């Protein structure tokens, strides 16, 4: 079912949705996430270990992997930023007792949610903590951090925040194109959603995508940075013309969008192309996160990135080739670019990227994807994208 | 000697606000057209006024002596009488200074009664009665009716007064504003009668005009009572008389002050500051000038006037701490024969001698000429006034500026309910046990306080100013001659030696305070951590109970064990 070779050639419109048999996940993939049983076991055994240590008059501890770019490695064969083995051990002491209390209460809440087959949004969890008297959280970032800690604590066992039943607030991005999503809501009703029939609107990725099933015969997935560009391609039925699925990311995509695209790409074996602004943020933050994940959530990158993604544009060379209007790089831009060159294991291991970023810094300018409008509003649809899609082999890794 | 400069009473322009009587001095105000034109007619600016030009002769007719008292009548601000509120404070200050000086010198534990009565809206009567040695009747008129008359100017001795102006200026101010003469009762011994006086001042002649004098019955065996009626206003607050008297008691822990404010209901309603010690301040000796810092001109004058026969003998007898050997060393170093007659020393040789002085090692001036309040008494007195949580004081060793020994004392009261943590520290300035109330901006003490790095001691300090915190800073300078910036004795001149000593004293107190502040923070931290244990352990146990479905008993057992574990780990 490899369709990559076709993708570049497709220029004519095709029938958007073709119902095909549901595909199974590729064999041999390690378990993606823990079952509810396993998650509750994790919580129980952690609590038990702490309880036992206390009653042996010892001081219990929690071993948390360090979540930052300094503790990740990148192997292009594996395809994602992998968390290293640096841990911080948090031992129960006068200084950490508050954090221990909050972490344990949060774990207890998680267990309760699982046994009731319910969930709490991150914000709701924060409000639930208001019942915990002194152990309550003052601000939501504090409870978010504790959730991340628990997730990292259990990451070896493939327990994600979603398995802990804490859901993010943000919505996933918009999707349109030849794709049917088969979903099931809490009541168990099954819905078949045709992503080509939203008119001028679009399907929106739900917060938890693990149970979704897909049917598609699209040739590729195009990830688009801005809502404006998505709007243009969507309303001109670009997806129909190129037989592709359009996904709007709205900046750095949420976990759900990343996971959605990852599953779609893996299970349906469709190539993924990213179309973002040509600036250090578009490259080093948005694209890098889709492709290999991020430093701060390194413990979950394995599942929440799309290693097969490739960079369509806008490339620094495009700025020259298409004579795009530009803005000067800001100090922040330059710092971000230099940082990527120096500290980011992903860029460091791809000479093509090194060259491109160095070129950008040298040019000292950036260009937005919508700058293509200089040549006419639909230039992007009629010329730029088709031209680029002729040579997917030339996309940056 | 170095009084020379101090003695020049009039060369210093008053920096305080002047209310000039003479319109000629006024800045040209915007004028109406009419007056402008008349003015132009009368006196064209660049041209000569009509009439004959003044000649030396005509001018000489206008040249005449200005009496000191006349001068001061016009320039009362120079003495601290610039406004009614300040006039009241200055009057009380001069009276109390004199009473304490007299009692200390006579070695009598001072007891001073101060009363203020309000006679009308802006008129007050101030009475100050002491148990001092009294004043012999023949001197009373001069003491109170003649400016620049006193016992303290022509000597180097630590005392509150030093100029011989104070009380007569207050009396003159009263006379000028109310027409009432100063009233004095004084008695020198039990077997002598008490004398009552009413003394006005002839400002033309700077001479007392005794209006009344009689002998009276007085219930005190000795002492002096002075009463002045004056135009004034009584206020509360920082510059208030109430506050001032409190501050006097702080620097004079041996004295007892009884004070009745004008708003008190009756005569018996007194504020009493009882002395916190029975010991009098150590008796202070009068000293000779110390050679370090003597000015060349003064040295030359001393050489001319001395009774000594030789240069060596001159240094030995006229200066303090100069032994015969040291005197010889100075002469030798200056290459001036030690047996040269002082009067024969020429300018060049005098210069050489003057240069030789700082190069010769001379003992510091005797310390018995200055009586510090002392660390212990400072702390005691400060405690009785500001019941703070931390009090410390430092008395520095005497050093010299311009040949005058002086010493610095500093004290800090920190914390406690009375003091606000968000305000700038309250600074109490003292010179020879006298509080300084005005002109803090011009004072060396304020400068030294601001120049000290208080952040080192855990306090906040806006750049270049007084630290912020719940504290009172006290700085006392004791000297045989305090260098004030003006006759109103409100601010101390910025001698580098003095500023350096103040800073060293403040740093010493600051270090002790810093240790306290840090200890306090540590304790608060400890306390917080302790409360952490009791606050959060139950939550650890509750969560474990929920997850592991423990019994209540197990939960309680967990709380107890974990508390124990943490308490133990904290002690390690
Ligand atoms: N209450 C008193 N008891 C005894 N002697 C007094 C008293 N008040 C003043 N005298 C004497 O009168 C003198 C003049 O006092 P006055 O206040 O005018 O000057 P001063 O104290 O010498 O100097 P200053 O001008 O600095 O105050 C003093 O030097 C002192 O000898
Ligand atoms: Mg006096």
Q: What one-character-per-residue DSSP string does B52-101 give?
A: PPPPHHHHHHH-----HHHHHHH-GGGGT-SSHHHHHHHHHHHHHHHHHH
Q: Within its chain, how far is the Cα of A31 from the centroid?
A: 18
Taking CA atoms, B417 is separated from B237, B387, B414, in Å, by 18, 8, 10
- Cβ–Cβ pairs < 8 A, chains A and B: 84
User: What's the pLDDT tens digit per position in B356-396?
Assistant: 999 999 988 877 788 899 999 999 999 988 889 999 999 99
The verdict on a CB contact (< 8 Å) between B536 and A134 is yes
Ligand nearest to the CA of B201: 1
The verdict on a CB contact (< 8 Å) between B535 and A43 is no
Lowest-confidence segment of B101-115, B136-150, B460-474 by average pLDDT: B136-150
CA gap A300, A159 in Å, rounded: 9
pLDDT at B11 over 60: no
Which residue of B536, B569, B572 to mutate against A (max A Cβ within 10 Å)? B536
Nearest residue, CB atoms, A94 vs list B533, B540, B547: B533
Band of residue B13 on the pLDDT scale cut at 50, 70, 90: very low
Task: Please state, rounded to an integer, the average pLDDT across all residues of chain A.
Answer: 88
Shortest Cα distance, chain A CAs vs residue B520, angstroms? 19
Q: What is the number of the ligand 1 atom nearest to the C-alpha of B144?
A: 18
Taking CA atoms, B6 is separated from B72, B290, B365, B484, B515, in Å, by 16, 17, 21, 8, 41
Band of residue B4 on the pLDDT scale cut at 50, 70, 90: very low
Low-confidence stretches of chain A (pLDDT beneath 50):
1-29
CA gap A369, A360 in Å, rounded: 15
CA gap B101, B278 in Å, rounded: 17
pLDDT at B157: 84
For B12, counting Cβ atoms within 10 Å of its Cβ (0-12 exposed, 13-18 middle, 19+ buried), the class is middle
Nearest residue, CB atoms, B569 vs list A93, A107, A112: A93
Nearest residue, CB atoms, A111 vs list B536, B547, B569: B547
CA gap A63, B557 in Å, rounded: 25
The verdict on a CB contact (< 8 Å) between B558 and A59 is no
A92 to chain B: closest CA residue: B566
Which residue of A93, A96, A114 to mutate against B (max B Cβ within 10 Å)? A93
Whether residue B451 contacts residue B499, with contact meaning beta carbons closer than 8 Å, is answered with: yes
pLDDT at B48 over 50: no
Band of residue B75 on the pLDDT scale cut at 50, 70, 90: confident
The residues whose Cβ lies within 5 A of ligand 2, an ion, are B 97-98, 161, 166
In this predicted model, which residue has the larger pLDDT, B39 or A218?
A218
The architecture CATH gives domain B291-359: Orthogonal Bundle (1.10)
pLDDT at A208: 81
DSSP state at residue B278? S
Taking CA atoms, B253 is separated from B222, B376, B437, in Å, by 22, 11, 19
CA gap A168, A96 in Å, rounded: 26
- Tell me which residue has tokens 């107190």: B509
For B480, counting Cβ atoms within 10 Å of its Cβ (0-12 exposed, 13-18 middle, 19+ buried), the class is buried
SS3 B196: strand
Instruction: Give the residue whose CA is nearest to atom 28 of ligand 1.
Output: B150
Band of residue B285 on the pLDDT scale cut at 50, 70, 90: confident
Q: Which residues line ligand 1 (CB under 6 A)?
A: B 94, 97-99, 102, 130, 132, 135, 143, 150-152, 161-168, 224
Name the residues of A annotated as catalytic.
127
CA gap B236, A18 in Å, rounded: 93
- Domain ranges across chain B: 74-263, 291-359, 375-518, 526-571
In this predicted model, which residue has the larger pLDDT, A185 or B504?
B504
User: Which CB contacts under 8 angstroms, 24+ apart, belong to B81-87?
Assistant: B81/B169, B81/B170, B81/B173, B82/B16, B82/B17, B82/B18, B82/B19, B84/B122, B84/B231, B84/B232, B84/B233, B85/B232, B85/B233, B85/B234, B85/B235, B85/B239, B86/B239, B86/B438, B87/B173, B87/B177, B87/B230, B87/B231, B87/B232
A111 in contact with chain B, both atoms CB, cutoff 8 A: yes
Band of residue B21 on the pLDDT scale cut at 50, 70, 90: very low
Please state at what angle helix B375-385 crosses helix B241-251, rounded to 10 degrees.
150
Residue A387 backbone phi and psi in degrees, to 5: -60, -45
Looking at the predicted complex, does its ipTM rise above 0.85? Answer: no
- One CATH from 3.50.50.60, 3.40.50.170, 3.40.50.300, 3.40.1360.10 for A174-390: 3.40.1360.10
User: For B188-285, where are the E strands, in sequence order?
Assistant: 194-202, 207-216, 223-231, 256-260, 271-273
SS3 B266: coil
CA gap B188, B139 in Å, rounded: 12
- One CATH from 3.40.50.1820, 1.10.10.10, 3.40.50.150, 1.10.3720.10 for A9-20+33-167: 1.10.10.10
Whether residue A135 contacts residue A101, with contact meaning beta carbons closer than 8 Å, is answered with: yes
- One CATH from 3.40.50.300, 3.30.565.10, 3.90.1150.10, 3.20.10.10 for B74-263: 3.30.565.10
- Domain ranges across chain A: 9-20+33-167, 174-390
pLDDT at B42 over 50: no
CA gap B142, B165 in Å, rounded: 11
pLDDT at B351: 95
Task: Please state, rounded to an integer, the average pLDDT across all residues of chain B.
Answer: 86
pLDDT at B572: 60
pLDDT at B7: 33
| Strand pairing category for B111-120 and B256-260 | parallel
The architecture CATH gives domain B375-518: 2-Layer Sandwich (3.30)
| Strand pairing category for A220-224 and A272-275 | parallel
Nearest residue, CB atoms, A108 vs list B530, B547, B562: B547
Taking alpha carbons only, the member of A161, A260, A268 closest to residue A211 is: A260
SS3 B412: strand
Whether residue A254 contacts residue A168, with contact meaning beta carbons closer than 8 Å, is answered with: yes
pLDDT at B162: 82
In this predicted model, which residue has the larger pLDDT, B482 or B67?
B482
Tokens of A154: 């259990």
Handedness of CA B211, B214, B217, B222 (dihedral sign): positive
Lowest-confidence segment of B83-92, B309-318, B523-532 by average pLDDT: B523-532
User: What value does the mean pLDDT take over residues B283-293?
Assistant: 85
CA gap A25, A267 in Å, rounded: 5
A40 in contact with chain B, both atoms CB, cutoff 8 A: no
Taking alpha carbons only, the member of B503, B374, B502, B474 closest to residue B414 is: B474
**Interface of chain B against chain A, CB under 8 Å?**
529-530, 532-533, 535-537, 539-540, 542-544, 546-548, 550, 557-558, 561-562, 564-566, 569-570
């Amino acid at each position: 079912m490899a369709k990559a070779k076709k993708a570049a050639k497709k220029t004519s419109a095709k029938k958007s949705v073709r119902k095909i048999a549901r595909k199974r996940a590729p064999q041999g993939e390690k378990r993606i996430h823990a079952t509810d049983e396993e998650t509750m076991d994790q919580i129980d055994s952690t609590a038990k270990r702490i309880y036992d240590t206390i009653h042996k008059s010892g001081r219990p501890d929690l071993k948390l992997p360090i979540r930052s770019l300094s503790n990740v490695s990148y192997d292009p064969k594996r395809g994602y930023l992998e968390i290293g083995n640096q841990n911080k051990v948090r031992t129960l002491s006068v200084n950490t007792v508050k954090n221990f209390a909050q972490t344990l209460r949060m774990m207890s809440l998680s267990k309760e949610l699982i046994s009731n087959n319910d969930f709490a949004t991150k914000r709701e969890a924060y409000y639930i903590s208001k019942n915990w008297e002194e152990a309550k959280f003052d601000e939501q970032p504090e409870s978010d951090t504790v959730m991340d800690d628990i997730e990292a604590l259990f990451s070896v066992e493939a327990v994600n925040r979603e398995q802990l039943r804490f859901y993010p607030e943000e919505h996933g991005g918009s999707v349109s194109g030849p794709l049917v999503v088969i979903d099931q809501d809490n009541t168990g009703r099954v819905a078949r959603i045709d992503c080509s029939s939203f008119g001028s609107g679009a399907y929106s990725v739900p917060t938890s995508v693990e149970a979704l099933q897909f049917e598609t015969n699209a040739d590729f997935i195009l990830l688009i940075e801005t809502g404006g560009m998505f709007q243009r391609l969507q309303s001109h039925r670009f997806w129909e013309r190129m037989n592709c699925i359009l996904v709007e990311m709205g900046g750095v995509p949420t976990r759900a969008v990343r996971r959605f695209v990852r599953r779609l790409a893996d299970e349906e074996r469709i190539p993924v192309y990213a179309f973002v602004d040509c600036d250090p943020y578009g490259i080093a933050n948005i694209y890098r996160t889709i492709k290999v994940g991020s430093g701060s959530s390194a413990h979950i990158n394995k599942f929440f990135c799309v290693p097969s993604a490739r960079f369509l544009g806008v490339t620094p060379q495009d700025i020259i080739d298409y004579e795009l209007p530009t803005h000067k790089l800001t100090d922040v831009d330059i710092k971000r670019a230099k940082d990527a060159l120096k500290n980011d294991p992903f860029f460091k291991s791809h000479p093509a990227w090194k060259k491109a970023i160095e070129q950008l810094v040298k040019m000292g300018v950036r260009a937005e994807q919508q700058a293509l409008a200089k040549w006419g509003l639909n230039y992007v649809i009629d010329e730029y994208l088709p031209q680029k899609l002729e040579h997917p082999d030339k996309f940056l890794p | 000697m170095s009084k020379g400069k101090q003695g020049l009473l009039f060369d210093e322009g008053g920096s305080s606000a002047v209310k000039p009587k003479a319109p000629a001095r006024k800045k040209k105000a915007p004028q109406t057209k009419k007056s402008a034109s008349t003015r132009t007619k009368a006196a064209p600016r660049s041209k000569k006024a009509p009439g004959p030009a003044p000649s030396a002769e005509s001018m000489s007719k206008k040249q005449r002596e200005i009496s000191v008292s006349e001068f001061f009548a016009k320039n009362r601000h120079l003495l601290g009488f610039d406004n009614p509120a300040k006039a009241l404070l200055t009057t009380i200050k001069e009276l109390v200074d004199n009473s304490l000086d007299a009692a200390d010198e006579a070695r009598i534990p001072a007891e001073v009664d101060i009363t203020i009565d309000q006679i009308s809206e802006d008129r007050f009567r101030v009475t100050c009665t002491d148990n001092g040695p009294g004043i012999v009747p023949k001197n009373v008129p001069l003491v109170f009716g003649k400016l620049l008359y006193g016992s303290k100017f022509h000597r180097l001795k630590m005392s509150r007064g030093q100029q011989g102006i104070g009380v007569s200026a207050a009396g003159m101010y009263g006379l000028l504003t109310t027409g009432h003469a100063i009233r004095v009762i004084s008695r020198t011994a039990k077997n002598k009668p008490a004398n009552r006086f009413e003394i006005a001042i002839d400002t033309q002649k700077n001479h007392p005009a005794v209006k009344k004098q009689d002998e009276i019955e007085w219930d005190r065996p000795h002492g002096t009572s002075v009463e002045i009626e004056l135009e004034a206003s009584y206020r509360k607050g920082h510059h208030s008389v109430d506050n001032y008297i409190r501050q006097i008691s702080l620097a004079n822990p041996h004295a007892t002050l009884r004070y009745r404010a004008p708003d008190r209901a009756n005569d018996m309603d007194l504020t009493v500051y009882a002395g916190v010690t029975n010991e009098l301040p150590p008796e202070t000796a009068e000293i000779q000038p110390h050679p370090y810092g003597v000015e060349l001109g003064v040295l030359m004058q001393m050489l001319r006037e001395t009774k000594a026969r030789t240069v060596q003998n001159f240094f030995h007898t006229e200066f303090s701490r100069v032994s015969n050997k040291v005197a010889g060393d100075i002469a030798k170093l200056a290459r001036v024969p030690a047996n040269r007659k002082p009067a024969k020393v020429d300018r060049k040789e005098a210069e050489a001698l003057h240069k030789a002085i700082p190069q010769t090692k001379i003992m510091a001036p005797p310390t018995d000429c200055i009586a510090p309040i002392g660390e212990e008494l400072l702390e005691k007195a400060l405690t009785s006034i500001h019941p703070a949580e931390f009090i410390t004081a430092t008395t520095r060793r005497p050093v010299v500026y311009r040949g005058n020994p002086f010493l610095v004392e500093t004290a800090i009261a920190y914390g406690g309910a009375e003091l606000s943590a968000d305000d700038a520290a309250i600074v109490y300035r003292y010179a020879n046990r006298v509080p300084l109330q005005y002109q803090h901006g011009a004072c060396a003490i304020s400068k030294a306080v601001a120049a000290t790095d208080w952040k080192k001691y855990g306090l906040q300090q806006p750049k270049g100013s007084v630290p912020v915190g719940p504290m009172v800073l006290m700085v006392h300078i004791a000297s045989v001659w305090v260098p004030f910036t003006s006759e109103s004795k409100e601010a101390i001149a910025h001698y580098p030696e003095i500023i350096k000593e103040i800073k060293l004293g403040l740093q010493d107190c600051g270090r002790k305070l810093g240790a306290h502040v840090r200890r306090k923070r540590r304790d608060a931290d400890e306390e917080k951590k302790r409360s952490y244990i009791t606050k959060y352990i139950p939550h650890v146990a509750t969560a474990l109970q929920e997850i592991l479905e423990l019994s209540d008993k197990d939960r309680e057992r967990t709380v107890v064990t974990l508390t124990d574990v943490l308490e133990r780990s904290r002690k390690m």
